[in-house]
Amino acid sequence: MNAHDIEYKLYGDDLQFVEIELDPGEAVMAEAGAMMYMDTHVQLETLFGDGSDKGGAGLMGKLVGAGKRAMVGESLFMTQFTNGGSFPQRVAFAAAYPGKIVPIDLREHGGKLIAQKDAYLCSAKGISIGIAFQRKIGVGFFGGEGFIMQKLEGDGLAFLHAGGTIIKRELESGEMIRLDTGCLVALTDSVRYEIEMVKGVKSALFGGEGLFFATLHGPGTVWMQSLPFSRLADRVLASARAHGGKSTGEGSALDILGGLGNLLDGK
């Protein structure tokens, strides 16, 4: 087993955080700024890349890992939290907006998971965080997540965060589900991901659901979110404009939220 065997506990309901218990010498990786609190003997170290050494332990391997993270819009650096003491220590992580944290054991899903660009929160040391290119042009242009998604590989625990309520759906062979492109959180490598245009001019223009659906074909597992951050940001921005669009400080912040929403939604 390459990834560290960590234990965890989730707290909260709609504003969750995850507390991870580390045995002596164990470590967990996280996005910069995700840490909530940590015990006395937890040592913090900023690493270049994802810390998995999958591309090689030398400088070139680290550059490859960092480059992959940059392509999905993440920081070149990650933070490693290691228990440097002689007894168990705890460290906790929280996301930046309301939603659920989903723990996923990659061993149960063939050692590989494809996730939206901003879903990753933290993982056991040894999990590789790379990129997954969407091979079909339609998915790349209209899939909400663009051509590039995150690819998590390894044999340990990874924690994803998404907005609203999360549902896990098991698709049988030949089974298909349609969903809003922004509501996709993650899928196993066996699921086929395609884009379907909404049928009918009236439905496409006035249905309020956009011009395209994501179609996911089994077999495999899919995780979906009820409230993508891009949708939340768009609603806040639209509400601000409906009330006069006054620039009082809040307006500039809302414009930033709207821009972030468009980026996350692949616009």
- Provide the phi-psi class of 245: left if phi over 0, else alpha when psi is between -120 and 50, else beta: left
| The predicted structure's pLDDT at residue 63 | 57
| The predicted structure's pLDDT at residue 132 | 79
- Total residues belonging to the chain: 267
User: Distance (Å, rounded) from C-alpha 55 to C-alpha 65?
Assistant: 7
pLDDT digit of tens for each residue in the chain (267 aa)?
589 999 999 999 888 999 999 999 999 999 888 999 999 999 999 887 666 665 555 555 555 555 555 555 555 678 999 999 999 999 999 988 888 999 999 999 999 999 988 899 999 999 988 887 654 544 444 444 444 788 999 999 999 999 988 999 999 999 999 988 889 999 999 999 887 776 654 444 444 445 677 889 999 999 999 988 776 666 677 777 776 655 444 445 555 555 555 544 455
In degrees, rounded to 5, the angle at the alpha carbon of residue 113 between the alpha carbons of residues 107 and 118 is 130
Q: Are 58 and 72 in contact (CB under 8 A)?
A: no
Ordered domains of the chain (ranges, CATH): 7-164 (3.60.160.10), 235-264 (no CATH)
DSSP state of 181: G
Closest CA to 30 of 98, 120, 163, 153: 120
| The predicted structure's pLDDT at residue 86 | 96
